A and B are shown apart, each in its own frame.
Chain A
Amino acid sequence: MTAVTADRLLHAASAEAAETVCAHCGQPIPDGGGSGARGPRFCCPGCSAAFETIQGLGLGRYYQQRLLDPALRAPRPETGERWDLDRAVTVNEDGTCELSMAIDGLQCGACVWLIESVLGREPAVAAGRVNMTTRRLRLVWRGAAADAERLVGRIEALGYRLVPFDAAALKAAQDHTGRALMRALAVAGFAAGNVMFISIGIWAGEAAGWLDGMGPATRDLLHWFSALIALPAIAYAGMPFFRSAAAALRQGRSNMDVPISIGVMLVTVMSLVESYRHGEHTYFDSAVSLLFFLLIGRVLDHRARGVARATAEQLLTLRASDVAVLQPDGTTLRRAQQAVAPGDRILVGLGERIGVDGVVERGTSALDASLVTGESLPVQAGIGTQVFAGTLNLGEPLVVRATATGGATLLAECVRLIEAAEARRSRFVVLADRVARRYAPAVHLTALLSFLYWYLIGGMALAPALLIASAVLIITCPCALALAVPAVQVIATSRLFQSGVLLKSATALERLAEVDTVVFDKTGTLTDPTLGLVGAGEQTRDANAPDPESLRLAASLAASSRHPLARSLLAAAGPVHAAAGVVEHQGQGLSLGEIRLGSRAFCGDPDAPPADRPELWLARPHQAPVRFVFDERLRPDAAAVIARLRRMGVDIRLLSGDRAGAVERVAATLGIDAWQAGCSPVEKVAAIEALAASGRRVLMVGDGLNDGPSLAAAHVSASPATAADISQTVADVVFQGHDLAPVATILDTARRARATMRENLALSIGYNVLMVPLAVAGLVTPWLAAAAMSSSSLLVILNSFRLRRGGAR
């Protein structure tokens, strides 16, 4: 994307839509809204202020150069979130303060430029740098740590959401392996280029031998020079392979790195001996370029998965919300979840998720524990009730006393079950290693046999016979074979990444391809985890049913809140103009003058029949209060995805912790016959393991804390990005968005990827079948070996690229 295209697109868009979208955030403005008849119009005061700020700083070019992606969060400033930044700020040795934050709402290069420019205008800021790949902001400033709040506020006022990283956790997460691989790649690339350069000289001298040949002395010199470059490079760049091979051998196993290591070492030693013997052929170039090619594959593989992992982490970070800790004087202080100590008292408002495990100390309310237990009906909570992190408060504000995550909590129980399930799960051997197990002995035996043949039967001297055996090893050194799988993996991983699917595990793709049974959880997996407003038609029997006009009014209040129910209300109402001057009452609701929106006690009708579902009330002077009821819905494409999976020949099952009635309803709607309700985490694990014992390969898709153990027990597992933290951490695959379609897409991609991997393996083994007879016959020269190795590797890589085209949309 260039600025020119961005500009043109924006002009095209603005020609027709300039009057109806907000000049700052690009969201539609409802009719009758907007400030002023002429000039830019805005959807809310926050956007208007952000526009003024940007123009005031002379950064108005941002609007010409940006490109808004409708799929991403619009840059609409929000209020109501205050982070406790103290834990995240580190003070450097030179007295500057440093802070790292995840940015939500980063749209394109213009956003990066805007954020950095705004920070650059702050005299105190020493460095404000956005990393666009990881979507992180690193901020360094001079002055007090408390300035963080003001600086972060500047960026938040522009419409971005910032969530601090824990400084200690950030340090631990640095990617040392990636850097080491990259250094090895650089060394191997340098050596491969130079040695190949020298080798071409040698080959040219050999080819021109009948004209004006290269003298043996010059050739020896060039051989030794190649050795001088190649030996240290092989020692350094080969380390990742040698280490992995040694680790495998120590455990009595074999993997692809074993034949690679043996091949490289033998080739090197043989070439050294040849150089010493003033021989004609050395193979330093083959050894180094083999490492170079393989390292390219490893680096790309590592990077693709690293990006997927970092994105998964980023999702978890952005979702983290702060909790309101009650102070002794009755005020509240927002704190990060990790900063809450046992014994702290926490205020949990209507529609907030309880951030910690604890015991209710004050208040009674209904709780939605679906993310914890899978139960979709709310449970009543009163003083003394044990509550778990992740539970949604549907009613009145509660005061919860945090308890330590002791051995008795549900979380600890699930962690124990997960560990047990992971320990029981058999170790998966990847395709490449299975091939290597048979391949390595076969080629080593061939080399030995050809040596014995030439030495004993062919009547050759020891040295030339050894040379032929080495040539066999060089030709069979599994460059293409070792690239066959990673090349496919890189392409499949980045393809899935573009469609919002994060492959976290290296072996997930191969395990997914084997799946023949998919087990779904119900709540939050087949159903949409965000609550939907129950349609007006269903509420006609209700005396407090909302009309469109009150829905619009309620949404205009809700627009300035981050509250989940307010968000659902906003989504149901469509574009509305956010009302100015809305006051948020912690844990109770919102008010605008005498208009109130919030909990039943805050503004509802106390005589209305009690709710079994989440609700919001709207009260206006001189009018009866209006009630908005929310409920869970099936994901819109659930039925289509189930049908598609069936067509792929996959058996579908449903395992839920919810009551039989609710599960049966969903199962009947989707046509799933095999369902089981009321499962505890232990029963879910047992069901999965029973399936595995009957020879099935199970993909478990679940989101709740109670699904964690069964995710760990399954052959391979997937979680939506809305899942409980622990489930998302356990799952091999995380998918984003409102749709269930990614489940079918990943299975489809995995199957096609496996087919491509097999083609690649067949191609590279086929190349060996062609070349080995030449090697055994003693006809392979160094240039032929180099050409054959490069061309077979290229062939495998090009074949993998076919995966990018066609197939899944």
Chain B
Amino acid sequence: MSVILYLLAGSLVLGGGGLAVFLWALRSGQYDDLEGAANRILFDDDRS
């Protein structure tokens, strides 16, 4: 049953990673304009 230890640790690391990514996204303002993000995907960015 010691496999359960690895599994628990693994799930915690993966979940924690997800949490960290979300907090980073929040900090970098990606949740500030949800309406704009929904519309932006419809238009090509031709700046390149």
Chain A positions within 8 Å of B, measured between CB atoms, are 2-3, 65, 108-110, 112-113, 117, 120, 130-134, 179, 182-183, 186-187, 190, 193-194, 197-198, 215, 218, 221, 225, 229
- Closest chain-B Cβ to A218's Cβ sits at a distance in Å of 6
A109 and B40 contact, Cβ closer than 8 Å, known pairs A190-B18, A218-B4: yes
| Chain B residue nearest in CB terms to A106 | B36
In the assembled complex, the Cα of A197 lies from the Cα of B4 at a distance in Å of 13
| Chain B residue nearest in CB terms to A62 | B43
Contacts of B8 in A (CB 8 A): 198, 225
Q: A194-B12, A198-B8 are in contact. List 8 more A-B contacts (CB 8 A).
A: A113-B43, A117-B46, A134-B32, A179-B26, A182-B31, A186-B19, A190-B19, A193-B15
| Chain A residue nearest in CB terms to B25 | A186
| Interface pairs A-B: 5 shortest CB-CB | A109-B39, A132-B36, A113-B43, A190-B19, A131-B33
Contacts of B36 in A (CB 8 A): 109, 112, 130-133
Contacts of A190 in B (CB 8 A): 15-16, 18-19, 22
Contacts of B23 in A (CB 8 A): 183, 186
A133 and B15 contact, Cβ closer than 8 Å, known pairs A183-B26, A186-B26, A218-B4: no
Verify B11–A197 contact, CB threshold 8 A: yes
- Closest chain-A Cβ to B33's Cβ sits at a distance in Å of 4
Contacts of A3 in B (CB 8 A): 42-43
In the assembled complex, the Cα of A553 lies from the Cα of B46 at a distance in Å of 44
Contacts of A229 in B (CB 8 A): 12
Chain B positions within 8 Å of A, measured between CB atoms, are 1, 4-5, 8, 11-12, 15-16, 18-19, 22-23, 26, 31-36, 38-40, 42-43, 46-47
List 25 A-B pairs, Cβ < 8 Å.
A2-B42, A3-B42, A3-B43, A65-B42, A108-B39, A109-B36, A109-B38, A109-B43, A110-B43, A112-B43, A120-B47, A131-B33, A133-B34, A179-B26, A186-B19, A186-B22, A186-B23, A186-B26, A190-B15, A190-B16, A190-B19, A193-B15, A198-B8, A218-B1, A221-B5
| Chain B residue nearest in CB terms to A3 | B42
In the assembled complex, the Cα of A750 lies from the Cα of B38 at a distance in Å of 31
Contacts of A65 in B (CB 8 A): 42-43
Verify A182–B26 contact, CB threshold 8 A: yes
A113 and B40 contact, Cβ closer than 8 Å, known pairs A132-B35, A182-B31, A186-B19: yes
- Closest chain-B Cβ to A759's Cβ sits at a distance in Å of 30
In the assembled complex, the Cα of A198 lies from the Cα of B8 at a distance in Å of 9
Contacts of B34 in A (CB 8 A): 133
Contacts of A132 in B (CB 8 A): 33, 35-36, 39
Contact of A131 among B4, B5, B16, B32 (CB under 8 A): B32
In the assembled complex, the Cα of A179 lies from the Cα of B42 at a distance in Å of 28
In the assembled complex, the Cα of A225 lies from the Cα of B47 at a distance in Å of 50
- Closest chain-B Cβ to A112's Cβ sits at a distance in Å of 6
A117 and B26 contact, Cβ closer than 8 Å, known pairs A132-B33, A218-B4: no
Verify B32–A133 contact, CB threshold 8 A: yes
- Closest chain-B Cβ to A543's Cβ sits at a distance in Å of 55
- Closest chain-A Cβ to B30's Cβ sits at a distance in Å of 11
Contacts of B18 in A (CB 8 A): 190
In the assembled complex, the Cα of A218 lies from the Cα of B47 at a distance in Å of 58
- Closest chain-B Cβ to A184's Cβ sits at a distance in Å of 11
Contacts of B47 in A (CB 8 A): 117, 120
- Closest chain-B Cβ to A192's Cβ sits at a distance in Å of 11
In the assembled complex, the Cα of A113 lies from the Cα of B44 at a distance in Å of 9
- Closest chain-B Cβ to A355's Cβ sits at a distance in Å of 32
In the assembled complex, the Cα of A172 lies from the Cα of B35 at a distance in Å of 24
In the assembled complex, the Cα of A215 lies from the Cα of B4 at a distance in Å of 13
- Closest chain-A Cβ to B11's Cβ sits at a distance in Å of 7
Contacts of A134 in B (CB 8 A): 32-33
Contacts of A2 in B (CB 8 A): 42
- Closest chain-B Cβ to A100's Cβ sits at a distance in Å of 13
Contacts of A112 in B (CB 8 A): 36, 39-40, 43
- Closest chain-B Cβ to A3's Cβ sits at a distance in Å of 5
Contacts of B39 in A (CB 8 A): 108-109, 112, 132
In the assembled complex, the Cα of A193 lies from the Cα of B16 at a distance in Å of 11
| Chain A residue nearest in CB terms to B5 | A221
In the assembled complex, the Cα of A594 lies from the Cα of B18 at a distance in Å of 71
Verify A194–B15 contact, CB threshold 8 A: yes
In the assembled complex, the Cα of A218 lies from the Cα of B4 at a distance in Å of 9
Contacts of B32 in A (CB 8 A): 131, 133-134
In the assembled complex, the Cα of A186 lies from the Cα of B18 at a distance in Å of 10
| Chain B residue nearest in CB terms to A193 | B15
| Chain A residue nearest in CB terms to B41 | A109
Contacts of B15 in A (CB 8 A): 190, 193-194
Verify B4–A109 contact, CB threshold 8 A: no
| Chain B residue nearest in CB terms to A119 | B47
Verify A109–B42 contact, CB threshold 8 A: yes
| Chain B residue nearest in CB terms to A175 | B32
Contacts of A120 in B (CB 8 A): 47
In the assembled complex, the Cα of A2 lies from the Cα of B12 at a distance in Å of 39
In the assembled complex, the Cα of A130 lies from the Cα of B40 at a distance in Å of 10
In the assembled complex, the Cα of A741 lies from the Cα of B23 at a distance in Å of 43
| Chain A residue nearest in CB terms to B43 | A113
Contacts of B4 in A (CB 8 A): 218, 221
In the assembled complex, the Cα of A64 lies from the Cα of B31 at a distance in Å of 29
In the assembled complex, the Cα of A3 lies from the Cα of B40 at a distance in Å of 11
Contacts of B42 in A (CB 8 A): 2-3, 65, 109
In the assembled complex, the Cα of A134 lies from the Cα of B33 at a distance in Å of 7
In the assembled complex, the Cα of A182 lies from the Cα of B26 at a distance in Å of 8
In the assembled complex, the Cα of A117 lies from the Cα of B43 at a distance in Å of 10
| Chain A residue nearest in CB terms to B29 | A131
Contacts of B5 in A (CB 8 A): 221
| Chain B residue nearest in CB terms to A6 | B42
In the assembled complex, the Cα of A145 lies from the Cα of B45 at a distance in Å of 27
- Closest chain-A Cβ to B45's Cβ sits at a distance in Å of 8
| Chain A residue nearest in CB terms to B38 | A109
In the assembled complex, the Cα of A187 lies from the Cα of B4 at a distance in Å of 24
Contacts of A182 in B (CB 8 A): 26, 31
In the assembled complex, the Cα of A634 lies from the Cα of B46 at a distance in Å of 51
Contact of A133 among B12, B19, B35, B46 (CB under 8 A): B35
In the assembled complex, the Cα of A120 lies from the Cα of B26 at a distance in Å of 25
Contacts of A131 in B (CB 8 A): 32-33, 36
Verify B19–A187 contact, CB threshold 8 A: yes
